[in-house]
Structure 1
């Protein structure tokens, strides 16, 4: 029966259901075969309001810290989807040295509403100073920047410090800091060859973090940013592992197929095998868990920002999304991989749904209701994950058009998805980095 449950876990992640004998098939549809997706989903607009144009001041500096800060800043401002970042070729003519003043009027003539100036320099053997400034087009010539931050960071983590500087610039321009000082985790591989990976929020540095000899499922960031995942080998049932501590002892529990932590770390949930079923357990820690819902085949647990338990479970037709045991996705639409996004306009529930031969990401309210489709076109779009600031969603896509298959990010309110990596995995999660050791803000405006 362990193999049958594993088959169900894999099938559910792929947007499939199980028929007799463990053979995957498309989820059943209600009698009549009506297209519920067409009736229930509103297409999220791919054409959004015009974005404010911003410029990033070029530099002739070849210092690696300066080059890194500038490239990370540009990439993050482009990926956040809040701005139309002017290409470097659009910069006004001039000699761009470290002390060159910002010609706001010249940039405004190019359509820029604001100009971002950054610089990085070594201030000691082990420390780097990163400076980010924002100038607005209505500022007076020679006036100080409307916003400025100076960060002192260890030289080994200049990229992380650059992401933090970009988050502050996004906050200065939008009112809410960005979420790029973060990382994603996912599983890559098939069958028994499945490993946990981490990757930066901009697609940099994909790294395997679980051993090659175990089969991994469902990675998740826990308290303090510690990375946990479910995994097993041929000789032992699936259990909980920590990248730092190895296998976590769980007395008297069945095989574990999924886990989640509340945002404040006060709760943990596990999807645990119970005979032919999978039940969801929850509690304050691994040693104090109790059944949290009676829904059969409860997979992919997740917590909302308020601490409510969300999971995918069995419905009359296929699979539905449940919040505290109450369905928030409609009957007859096969749904999987729920995640709750703490968007500035309110909490949104995102999940994957099967639509004919394709799978799409949809968004609805925290308690359900009408939902909007975020992705379009043929292919599988699955495993949504939300940025720490709640404004972006990342997902895997098998699309063959545009930039092709890979890991994408897009605004939760719609817009063009942007590929950050060609890798296609599953069980995607996105979490903030813990506070960086040695980080200091040494100036602000």
Structure 2
């Protein structure tokens, strides 16, 4: 975690060598709202190679590595100042100039921030090391360049398949936990695996909603073309004109509902991503709490502060994020339920399209003299109606699965709470 407005970092050498530490080791440190270190654990102190008197009441950017783009810290501060937890890959510099990489989870607490950090090893980490180097080369390492760097980073994350930084940090943290568990010979986390299934279902929802929108766009001019056909038919085209009007009304309703429909699908996906990050945060905080408890039992130093007070703070933070995870699961269920209601409205409109299509087909058969041109338009209408019907059916199945899995996750999270107690 960098520091915004505090002090000047000492000029230290940069050594192209890594400070070793084990995958099972977790760092934690606590700062005030300015980023000044108030406490930490022995892993933090040992790996940074500073004595506690060199860390305590010092700005956290004492360990900032020059290879770190300022844009990442700009993002970090922007989110935690708004009271949101944030995760980021950070390259730190030890006192002797060597480096060490961590994935940092920073959460707001009363009077400041708590950072828990783990050793990264996932494929996302490998990609991000390259992205940071490219970002440093492309954007000036200055305060002015930091915000521009955020835009460059956002575009790169989008190219890597992430909708925004929040979805990136949720994916990164869950993959880091999975990679860490594998290296430590642990079974995959059941709750995180369940969240992965939720994300797959939610991405499918959004894809299916987009397919409906694309089908609408392809058939947007069918009502106008039907009206042209009716005009050419004169008196014989009265029914076609009525069909065109009915189709136009339904099509307009679908278009008016489309933005809300797609936004509703996107909201389900965002809520799941947020829930995944909260769950992963609570998981790592729980383990950091357990590690710190072992440190206290061994009477090891914890940053010169009140170790019992720090222990209580970790316990409270872990409990808080567990509750936030449960609230997030309830929100997922609510969003999925809301989306199902939007689907029901789209189904009603699709049923209206089906009636209109059948009327059109019957009239096309009656007007055999012009059936070729009319049939083509009726086929377009049928394709649109079929796309809506088929995708709504898949959406409904996915939505139900999301609600079932959200309830299953709530049970798993409650089980984790019992284990922690």
Q: Could you state the TM-score of these two structures normalised by the residue count of structure 2?
A: 0.22
**Larger gyration radius, structure 1 or structure 2:** 2
User: Which structure's residues are more often helix, by fraction?
Assistant: 2
User: Which structure's residues are more often strand, by fraction?
Assistant: 1
Q: Could you state the TM-score of these two structures normalised by the residue count of structure 1?
A: 0.22
